[in-house]
Structure 1
């Protein structure tokens, strides 16, 4: 199985960014959802974006954001891609892609086989699908450390490239990849010592485990 692409999500400090780059992660995710403990303001990401430039691909994570908010944060971070983690429709994904001219990733929250099926609707709109665990009503939409039933993806063959998120850590990422065949893995809470606080050693361990 080829080595997966790796995304370290919810990076909000220079140390975490440097750790992701040192561990040769492919993507770094900046969280632009204000209620999240991982939220990074335009002022913070302007510095991080500059530091990351040319060293790692920068993905901005948004939840049902309007164009003004998307524009402000995308511009500050000089994003390479936009990840949509809300209830964005196919039409909205198409609109954002055309307006901002960046690749768009669409997160599909999964708790059942019917959720996985929803990914098909985004063919021709999104550039990549990211399957994540569905969180309880009223909770944050991601980064909760929840894992879904990976067997739901065992036979998944979508037309779009796709990745796996949801409770991934150094301890379970190899198993998750074996179970799903994911070509991209995404970690947030699984590489933290506390909510929003990235752990340099866990980032290194996650990248190593994903590639082993």
Structure 2
């Protein structure tokens, strides 16, 4: 199961989380987020860990600048980005190629059919909890809603996951779910992850 730890911004904290060997580290470039990163940490992140930039309704030019300046491996689109935008982004990557992740806000009214048109242009989906604004809510939605997803693009389970959810995640059965996206449920403060909580959760998840 792949692990993405999102909302990283503190150099020392990033170094601690790196020791846990997550698959992805997420860096939020949305300036209305409490975890907005203003200056990229000058630390070495192993190639085995993919760096994901999280953006909300940014231009393709801005995204390409983030990719180049911060050597990102993937971009996570967490706003109202259209299928046409994703297609254009994929076709205009330039010399710095990257993966495209698309986040969707899930509630009982979400139409999973809309994800089909995104599939040719996205390597991964993020199914997060629907809130009033953009970004994480710290709340869970009913994971049973994901039974309606019949697509082929893999996804990360996201939204309000905390240290006590490992057993529930292990029981969750969906062929396209390849991992989890972790954030506020493992924090001591916005952007500061609790290494011990993460370590305990990962140990339980993998055993």
Q: Same fold (TM over 0.5)?
A: yes
Whole-Å Cα distance in 2 between the matches of residues 180 and 168 of structure 1? 16
Q: Is 2:18 the counterpart of 1:25? A: no
Match of 2:84 in 1: 91
Q: Is 2:199 the counterpart of 1:204? A: yes
Structure 1: 5+ residue stretches without partners: none
Matches within 5 A, 1:167-178: 167-178=160-171
Whole-Å Cα distance in 2 between the matches of residues 151 and 24 of structure 1? 29
Quote how far apart the aligned CAs of 1:195 are. 2.4
Q: Is 2:101 the counterpart of 1:111? A: no
Match of 1:159 in 2: 152
Higher helix share: 1
| Distance change in 2, residues 1:177/1:18 (3 Å) | same
- Per-residue CA distance 1:31-78 (angstroms, 9 max, x = gap): 11011111112x324x24xx1142411111111011232123222220
Quote how far apart the aligned CAs of 1:126 are. 1.0
Whole-Å Cα distance in 2 between the matches of residues 153 and 99 of structure 1? 31
Q: How many residues align?
A: 202
Matches within 5 A, 1:63-82: 63-82=56-75
Match of 1:59 in 2: 52
| Distance change in 2, residues 1:107/1:162 (3 Å) | same
Match of 1:39 in 2: 36
Quote how far apart the aligned CAs of 1:180 are. 4.2
Whole-Å Cα distance in 2 between the matches of residues 68 and 173 of structure 1? 39
Quote how far apart the aligned CAs of 1:150 are. 0.3
Structure 2: 5+ residue stretches without partners: none
TM (normalized to structure 2)?
A: 0.89
- Per-residue CA distance 1:10-41 (angstroms, 9 max, x = gap): 11112232232211211101111011111112
Matches within 5 A, 1:99-138: 99-100=92-93, 101-112=97-108, 114-136=110-132
TM (normalized to structure 1)?
A: 0.87
Quote how far apart the aligned CAs of 1:89 are. 0.4
Instruction: Report which stretch shifted further, 120-129 or 191-200.
Output: 191-200
